Amino acid sequence: MTPITPKKDRQQALRIRRFFIGAASYVMWLILILYCHHLGFIRLSLGWTLFAFGIVISINIFLYLIFRTGLNKKFTDPSLTFLQMTIAALAAMVAIYYTNDIRGIMLVAYIVTILFGVFSFSLIQYFVFTIFSVSCYATVILLLLNNHPDTITLQVEILQLVVFTTVLTWFSMVGSYMRKIRTKLSTTNYRLNNALSTIRELAIHDDLTQAYNRRQMYEELKREKAKADRSGDIFSIALFDLDHFKKINDTYGHLKGDDVLKHLIHSVSHEIREIDSIYRYGGEEFVIIMSDTDAKGAEECACRIQNAIKHLKFPGFSESFCITISTGITTYQPFESIDALIARSDSAMYKAKSLGRNQVVTQNHA
């Protein structure tokens, strides 16, 4: 079943909701006109009145199809605000023309039409619509003078025209001001969301390497543990440490050492899957969390990383400069603690160092 509004296009869904709000105002007009017809204030027969509303409903169905098919996006104003307001204004003026004695009441109801300009009208657009509306009402007065002079008191109609013009002009300025406030709020919200997004990114990433930070590592391990304990899934972690990093810092300086770490993590991130993630555990130690991966798969990944690092070249260093890492692999055991998991991988990593460094060691028991 096709939904009334598109689910994936939020902006288009918003336009259609606004369209429905505008279309609902015709219900108000229908109730008002039928009641006035019942009281004898409408010259048009009931059949012709309902026929006129049938035309208006058909036009709104056509507009809905334009929105639903996305044809509205080809227009400068995809909301079709001016078109919808123009149709509503013309329909209201026809109703006012066929109304006796209570045209002033109908003009009050007409104000509802101009309120929809708040969604998108600028001050100039509001004034254009005001001129259009006043011109329509002036035309109604002239037609009534010519066709039904007995139903009109010219002085009263002129006064109503002046008041109508004044009220619409005032609404134009207020509506334009409200639109500006709405635009500013939208811009502010957009900037605020961007700022919050940036803050969230900064809060979970390591400033230097752009790997995820230690706190985020524990959050991800909690999620992986919960999934594993619940469904029996497996996951592994690899904890690796840059061999002889202190010597690099002492020889080349800490800034160069930082460059090595950044370049290293940039390289490692290209060797892991999209579902895997890398975290800075502390200093020159890093952890890779590998979802749905057993010890064998984790070993293959670690060996691939070591092979890539062996051929890695570092900008600003000599061609002969190279680094190695020592890696400890372990796979999560059901219902064990996160600290136990990390301690086991840490033990495996130190065993790799004791074996001469540049090693991958797997340890799945304490």
pLDDT at 186 over 90: no
Pairing of strands 285-291, 277-282: antiparallel
Tokens 């300086």, located at residue:
253
- Which is nearest to 152 in space by CA: 102, 197, 198, 220? 102
* Active-site hit among 157, 220, 224, 284: 284
Name residue 64's amino acid. Answer: Y
Confidence bin at 170 (pLDDT 50/70/90):
confident
Checking if the pLDDT of 138 tops 90, the result is yes
User: Residue 221 and residue 166: Cα distance in Å, rounded?
Assistant: 66
Label residue 216 exposed, middle or buried (CB < 10 Å: 0-12, 13-18, 19+).
middle
Number of neighbouring beta carbons within 10 Å of residue 259: 18
Give mean pLDDT, residues 225-244: 94
| φ, ψ for residue 82, nearest 5 deg | -65, -40
- How much is the average pLDDT of 43-52? 87
Catalytic residue at 284?
A: yes
Q: Is the model's pLDDT at 115 over the cut of 80?
A: no
CA–CA distance from 265 to each of 262, 331, 357 (Å)? 5, 22, 19
DSSP-derived pairing of the beta strands 325-331 and 360-362: parallel
* Whether pLDDT at 119 is above 70: no
Over the stretch 280-289, which tens digit does the pLDDT of each residue have? 999 999 999 9
Amino acid identity at 304: R
Mean pLDDT of the residues in the chain: 89
3 state DSSP class of 239 = strand
CATH superfamily of 214-362: Reverse transcriptase/Diguanylate cyclase domain (3.30.70.270)
Which residues, 6 or more positions from 64, have their beta carbon under 8 angstroms from its beta carbon?
A: 16, 19, 23
Q: Looking at residue 3, what is its pLDDT?
A: 65
Residue 55, both tokens: 């035309």
Q: How confident is the model at residue 366 (pLDDT cuts 50, 70, 90)?
A: low
Q: How confident is residue 122, by pLDDT bands cut at 50, 70 and 90? A: confident
Range(s) of the chain covered by CATH 3.30.70.270: 214-362
Please state the rounded mean pLDDT for residues 178-184. Answer: 82
Q: Which of 81-90, 120-129, 175-184, 249-258 ranks highest by mean pLDDT?
A: 249-258
Of the chain, the end-to-end C-alpha distance in Å amounts to 56
Whether 262 shows a pLDDT value over 90: the answer reads yes
Sign of CA dihedral 200, 201, 207, 212: positive
Q: How high is the pLDDT of residue 106? A: 82
Question: How far, in Å, CA of 224 to CA of 216, rounded?
Answer: 12
Residue with tokens 């002033």: 104
Residue 104 confidence (pLDDT): 82
Considering only residues 44 and 323, tell me which one the structure prediction assigns the higher pLDDT. Answer: 323
CB atoms within 10 A of CB 200: 10
* Among candidate residues 327, 316, 315, the one with its CA nearest the CA of residue 352: 327
C-beta of residue 239 within 8 angstroms of C-beta of residue 346:
yes
Band of residue 179 on the pLDDT scale cut at 50, 70, 90: confident
pTM more than 0.75: no
Name the packing angle between helices 10-39 and 46-69 (round to 10°): 180
Whether the per-residue pLDDT at 241 is higher than 90: the answer is: yes
CA distance linking residue 15 with residue 4, whole number of Å: 12
Q: How far apart are CA 312 and CA 271, in angstroms?
A: 12
Residue 102 token pair: 């209570």
Residue 109 has a pLDDT of 76
Q: Say which residue, 151 or 359, is predicted with more confidence.
A: 359
